[in-house]
Chain A
Amino acid sequence: MKDDNVTSIVLYGIGGQGNVKASEVCGLAALLSGYHVKKTEVHGMSQRGGSVESYIRFGKKVFSPLPADGTVDILICLHEEEYPRLIHQLKKDGIDLFPYLAKAKEAVGEQKLFLNTFMLGVLSAFLPIKTEHWLNALNQTFKYAQEENKNFFLKGKHSGEQK
């Protein structure tokens, strides 16, 4: 991915999966790498179990917080039933990380809280952001279970690197 272009990511699932937190980490990691970042969410009362989608866009200069349809570079879905909802947003040669969801579920097992962190790790393998910035962003965003978050992130990263 070239640095002078804007990279658009959509991250979606349902309320309670830590979707917004994960987009927070990604946005912060991009900021720490010196990019201009815009990050936004669509969630109608998601706390009550509704659909949630987060968008992260970063580059030299970003105008709109929302990407245009069919221009998303990377798609991450945290919930199988939600998957079909937003696939149209991915651009033709975009990267779909949905296949990693099964791996992520297997890796976290009962510790479902870390599904988002694992998927962030997978995402990190596809972005020009250094690991130190990711770990820094993780620590700033998650005040609890920092060690576990780091571990699941690194596992996800490893998984993503097996492309």
Chain B
Amino acid sequence: MATKKTVLFSGNEALAYGAYEAGLEFSAAYPGTPSTEITQFLSQFKEIDSQWSVNEKVAFEIAYAASIGGKRSMYIGKHVGLNVAMDPFMTSAYTGVNAGFVIVTCDDPGMHSSQNEQDNRLFARVGKMPLLEPSSPSETKELIKKAFEISEKFDTPVIFRMTTRICHSKENVTIQERKDVPIKNFTPNPQKYVMIPRYAMMRHIELENRLLKLKKFAENSPLNKMEVKDKKLGFITSGVTYLYAKEYYPNASYLKLSISYPFPEKKVRDFCKKVKKVFVLEELEPFIQNNCERLGLKVYGRDASFHIGEMKPDHIPQIVAGKTKKDKPLVNRPPELCKGCPHRIVFNTLKKFDVIVAGDIGCYTLGTLPPFNGLHTCLCMGAGVTFQEGLSKSIQNKKVVGVIGDSTFVHSGITGLINAAYNKTKGVILILDNATTAMTGGQPHPATGKTLKQEETKQLSLEKICEVCGADSIDVIDPAQVNDFEEILRKRLDENNLSVIIVRKPCILMKQKMHPKTFTNPTPGVGR
């Protein structure tokens, strides 16, 4: 007997639970807002082999290979995470899958906690893979199951696009039992899985054929739902924007796209024939709108001001009135480094030196704000190390210090350090080792010696790896020893070497947080 139960789930929890119900066997991810809780939630299921990986490229490849090996698997990351995994991403469309493989990308319109607000729907067209978009947590749980079915039916990776508002909103979600899916056999098939040019050319033909089939599927699928009511006013829309529009115009006609790539041209044409005035409502890029324009359809889009930032319910009537975006200006209290945070000492010390600081992604990026004003660049993961090298090639009159966190260093600082040593770079790199991935709420990583499931594992030694990468000196210092820290920093800045200083002091929030049971929300009905 199948049991059903209704719980209050976030989009992330619903996605994890839906994947669990769909027989997910393997998942890999690197933490990143707003995607982090998906993996944390998955970690409770003993049926699923889930992991934090070193970075998104690694996560993608492992999860994808697990699918080729025969298990339903999933890669999970934030929007910019997929950039790191672009290399395997692009060719996985050629090689296809064995068991179902879903690429979960959690975009962050409004940049609640991100360095840009790229719209990863565009990657569906670039990568030539089907794109699924839910609009709410309850829909997420059902749609993720469909994603695995589509992946297997069409032999393709499937992109599943979430946004912060859906990831972090909660709603009543009805949960069901897991359906185990038999593990498939892996049969060596070089023409499919070894992408030498000759085989890749055949796979490209296969890929184009597959897209035609997927297009037909998108045309006929009830997931692209037409609701014709008021024939004077209609909306083509996707994601949470659909719900914002329903709030204002419950009686209008809707074409709600859950499969927005391949673009269901016939259905869209049909809708535009049935409804007199059609608006395209979407968040960030004019993805649906450009597709409509390509078909020569007369639809009304959004002013370019709406391509920036998160969509809000209040924007809908503004768009319908053909206006530019008008938001109530809100003065938000800016975030700051926690009281007692070890990074504070680092930036207070750096202030005493006339140096340029190349920063990276993490809590310590906040060192750029007053009262520190002590971090001068931040672009992407790992750039604390590579910017130290690049900037010091150009800047002659000042020393450049690189600042990077422990988790970020493992993610993509190591290759930069090898490059710095190899190319005879001089300077100082500070690894701020607070023993966790703090910005995203405290996840373990290789240098913590703990896995996602809080099991003991081999611990990466930051000292040793810096040594073999080629650093001339490696100091380990507790920043609480303020004078010693300052002295070491002065000494290393005066030398003409490649120096790494590991500034080691645990994140103050982790004392409360590292307890393994506290990281998932206690949600009724899911206590396995």
Contacts and interface: CB of A to CB of B under 8 A. Distances in A.
Interface of A: 14-15, 24, 27-28, 31, 36-51, 62-69, 81-82, 85-86, 88, 140-141, 143
Given A28-B524, A85-B331, A140-B522, A40 B337 contact: no
Contacts of A69: 314, 328
A40 B363 contact: no
A161 B230 CA distance: 45
Interface in B314-351: 314, 328, 330-338
Contacts of B165: 40, 65-66
A64 B313 contact: yes
A49 B332 CA distance: 11
Nearest to A49: B336
Given A44-B112, A45-B113, A50-B333, 19 more contacts: A31-B172, A37-B171, A37-B172, A38-B170, A39-B8, A39-B171, A43-B112, A48-B338, A50-B334, A62-B171, A64-B244, A64-B246, A65-B240, A65-B243, A68-B247, A68-B248, A69-B328, A82-B333, A140-B523
B509 interface: yes
5 contacts: A40-B170, A43-B112, A63-B243, A64-B244, A65-B240
Contacts of B333: 14, 49-51, 81-82
Given A31-B8, A39-B170, A46-B335, A64 B247 contact: yes
A9 B439 CA distance: 29
B168 interface: yes
Contacts of B336: 48-50
A88 B331 CA distance: 13
Contacts of B169: 38-40, 65
Interface of B is mostly: loop
B508 to A, nearest CB: 11
B137 to A, nearest CB: 8
Contact of A140 (B172, B240, B524): B524
Nearest to A144: B518
A44 B113 contact: yes
B312 interface: yes
A66 B313 contact: yes
Contacts of B314: 68-69
Nearest to B332: A51
A49 B339 CA distance: 10
A90 B517 CA distance: 38
A68 B250 CA distance: 14
B308 to A, nearest CB: 16
B524 A50 contact: no
B313 A68 contact: yes
A49 B509 CA distance: 13
Contacts of A85: 330-332
B441 interface: yes
A1 to B, nearest CB: 19
A78 B244 CA distance: 27
Contacts of B331: 85
A38 B171 contact: yes
B321 to A, nearest CB: 15
Contacts of B332: 44, 50-51, 85
Nearest to A48: B335
A27 B521 CA distance: 14
B318 to A, nearest CB: 11
Contact of B112 (A24, A42, A141): A42
4 closest Cβ pairs, A-B complex: A48-B335, A50-B335, A45-B335, A40-B169
Contacts of B6: 31
A146 to B, nearest CB: 12
A47 B509 contact: yes
Nearest to A67: B313
Contacts of A47: 335, 338, 441, 509
Contacts of B312: 66
A144 to B, nearest CB: 10
Interface in B55-83: none
Nearest to B525: A140
Interface centre among A27, A63, A82, A143 (most CB of B within 10 A): A63
Nearest to B166: A65
Nearest to B246: A63
Contacts of A27: 8, 170
B366 interface: yes
A72 to B, nearest CB: 12
A60 to B, nearest CB: 12
A24 B331 CA distance: 25
